[in-house]
Structure 1
Amino acid sequence: MKLHKASAATAAALVLTLAATACGNGDDDADASGDGGRITVGIKFDQPGLGLKRPDGSFTGFDVDVARYVAGQLGYDAGDIEWKQTPSAERETMISSGDVTFVVASYSITGERERKVDFAGPYLLAHQDLLVRSDDSSISSAGDLDSKKLCSVTGSTSAQNIKAKLAPKADLQVFGGYSECLTGLENKAVDALTTDDSILAGYAAQKEHRGKFKLAGLRLSDENYGIGLKKGDTGLKDKINAALRKMVSDGSWQKAVTANFGPARYKNEPAPAIAG
């Protein structure tokens, strides 16, 4: 009798162990493939042409298209993506803290940033430029900037470039978002908004801004946009790079460029060589 009870108890324990193991394996498979899980992606919410949150809550832009494509290659459906607003000054913090899995937000690859996070890509080559009022012809070179009132956003490479080398004597104002700069430019509180030409083209193409502003046409720097991710996560970096190569090779990259930048007549550079 005692032997029978022990055997029954052992069998019951074995069943519970096998069930727990099966559940654990199923969860691991879901996390690895993306099936049944979710992924958090950092983007900009206020950059037309790159990352813009529409009034209906949907998202549009080249960065958004790149992020969706990459997430799809990682095994996530569009509905599995949680979009998180990622201001320029908070990108490294949000990546390091795990608030986002990766960031696709006009994120220029720089040596200083690479000490804090890793980058996949680059997936777009942009250039720093200036947005001015359509009737302003006073800026034709970097030498004209020292006497101007300029505007940019906190944490951007464009603001850093102005302070460090392009126009250290310029009156530079920085804000948390580009909307404040646009208001200042329209009201003549500032002479120019400086950031990447891809971003400026998106603003100039908006219906409410057409005819008011123009790009100065200066290529003040080369800005290679990368996808930011946690430092040391080489596995994810390799997967994202593979996804970006496929996006270029199957024509999806060019399709996204045309759809998002075509209306602004933005002359983009060819797809850059992806590292690794």
Structure 2
Amino acid sequence: MKLHKASAAVAAVLTLSLAATACGSGEDSGSGGDKITIGIKFDQPGLGLKTPDGKYTGFDVDVATYVAKELGYEASDIVWKQAPSAERENLIKNGDVKFVVATYSITDKRKQEVDFAGPYLLAHQDLLVRADDSSITKVEDLNSKKLCSVTGSTSAQNVKNKLAPKADLQQLGGYSECLTGLENGAVDALTTDDSILAGFAAQQQHQGKFKLVGLKMSDENYGIGLKKGDKDLHSKINKALEKMKSDGSWDKFVKANFGPANYKNEPAPEITEAS
């Protein structure tokens, strides 16, 4: 009797699981009403930020929302999932997200694991300094300065190893800590992608305090990461990005998210990652 009850319970669980799976399968159809899960950053102002009231803002969020709409999803159909840099490939490969829009630079190494659509933004490594600091106009000026970046940052190592070997590199836990140090004079400059720097500088509490130096120490083509071999989705995302550029939405998103930092962005890049 007990065995019969257990079998019935297992059967019920299996039935529920199958039903749930069937319900979830609509995510891939692109039809309205179903949900789509998209990976973004939760901690990058101007790009991908989860605000204290639970909203999501930033350029990457605007781009992802636009692309999702072109795929047949309303903003209310989107489930946002945090995509830290080290987890982006795993989230895509495991099917935890449909695609990732998270300051995701297209590199040959990453293309071995995932596919990219785009690019949709060309960023460059740059420096952020105090608005009244005229002593740093080129990267070599950092040789006598304190440079801040986050722990493990390739940007910081790029400066230290190749461009300004005598810079006093301070590595902190997050960009917000570097900004605090920059504001109070504990450090002289912060380095990472100019888009990320502009996002922080454009925050209301930081407006007017900092400026981008305007150096182009690297080229970072941001792409939308998706599962390898999904040619249909790849083609649809590229088509959406082309439309976003042509109808003026791309310019609107740049101005809304980076405008207060006087970010001198590159024009919308040509889409080169064909499916």
1:114 deviation in Å? 2.0
- What amino acid sits opposite 2:114 in the alignment? V
Matched-pair identity in %? 74
- Cα deviation 1:184-219 (Å, max 9, x = unaligned): 322333321111212212222222112322212212
Q: Does 1:77 align with 2:54?
A: no
- Residue of 136, 141, 144 corresponding to 1:144: 141
Measure, in 1, the Cα distance between the counterparts of 2:104 and 2:27. Answer: 29
Does the residue aligned with 1:33 lie in a helix, a strand or coil?
A: coil
Counterpart of 2:39 in structure 1 is: 42
Moved more, 120-129 or 33-42: 33-42
1:176 and 1:97 map into 2 onto residues whose CA distance is: 28
CA separation of 1:36/1:154 partners in 2, compared to 1, >3 Å: closer, same or farther?
farther
Amino acid across the alignment from 1:269: E
For residue 208 of structure 1, give the secondary structure of its aligned residue in structure 2: helix
Q: 2:97 pairs with 96, 100, 109, which one?
A: 100
User: Does the Cα contact within 8 Å between 1:40 and 1:102 map onto a contact in 2?
Assistant: yes
Quote the offset at 1:241 in angstroms. 0.8
CA deviation string 1:28-85 (max 9, x = no partner) = 6663124332111111222222222222211121111100011111121111111122
Match of 2:245 in 1: 248
How many equivalent residue pairs? 254
Q: Which amino acid aligns with 1:136?
A: D
Q: Distance in 1 between matches of 2:22 and 2:136?
A: 62
> Does 1:214 pair with 2:211?
yes
Structure 1 residue 164: Cα displacement: 5.0
- Relative distance call for 1:39 and 1:262 in structure 2 (3 A) is same
Going from structure 1 to structure 2, the CA distance change for 1:274 and 1:125 (only over 3 Å counts) comes to: same
Cα gap change, 1:35/1:190 in structure 2, threshold over 3 Å: closer, same or farther? same
CA RMSD of aligned residues (A): 2.6
Q: Secondary structure of 1:193's match?
A: strand
Q: What is the letter of the counterpart of residue 83 of structure 1?
A: W
Residues 198 and 29 (structure 1), Cα distance of their counterparts in 2 relative to 1, 3 Å cut: closer
Residue in structure 2 matched with residue 11 of structure 1 by the alignment: none
Tell me if the contact between 1:89 and 1:156 (Cα under 8 Å) persists in the aligned partners: no
Question: In structure 1, what is the Cα distance between the partners aligned to 2:218 and 2:225?
Answer: 20
Contact 2:128 2:190 in 1 (8 A): yes
Q: Deviations over 1:152-198 (max 9, x none)?
A: 23565524533553345544344553212212322333321111212
1:117-196 equivalent positions in 2, closer than 5 A: 117-153=114-150, 157-159=154-156, 161-162=158-159, 165-196=162-193
Amino acid aligned to 1:56 = D
Distance across 1 between alignment mates of 2:109 and 2:152: 12
**Alpha-carbon separation, structure 2, partners of 1:128 and 1:69:** 26
Residues 88 and 184 from structure 1, CA distance in 2 versus in 1: closer, same or farther, beyond 3 angstroms? farther
Residues 238 and 179 of structure 1: CA distance in aligned 2, closer, same or farther (over 3 Å): same
Q: CA deviation at 1:118?
A: 1.7
Give the whole-Å Cα distance in 2 for the aligned partners of 1:119 and 1:157: 21
Pairing partner for 1:227 from 207, 211, 224: 224
8 Å contact kept, 1:87–1:176: no
Q: 1:79 to 1:272 in 2, by over 3 A?
A: same
- The residue type equivalent to 2:183 in the other structure is E
- Unaligned runs of 5+ residues in structure 1 are 1-23
Counterparts of 1:133 and 1:71 in 2: how far apart (Å)?
38
Alpha carbons 2:41, 2:49 under 8 Å: kept:
yes
* 1:267 equivalent in alignment to 2:258: no
TM-score, normalising length: structure 2: 0.81
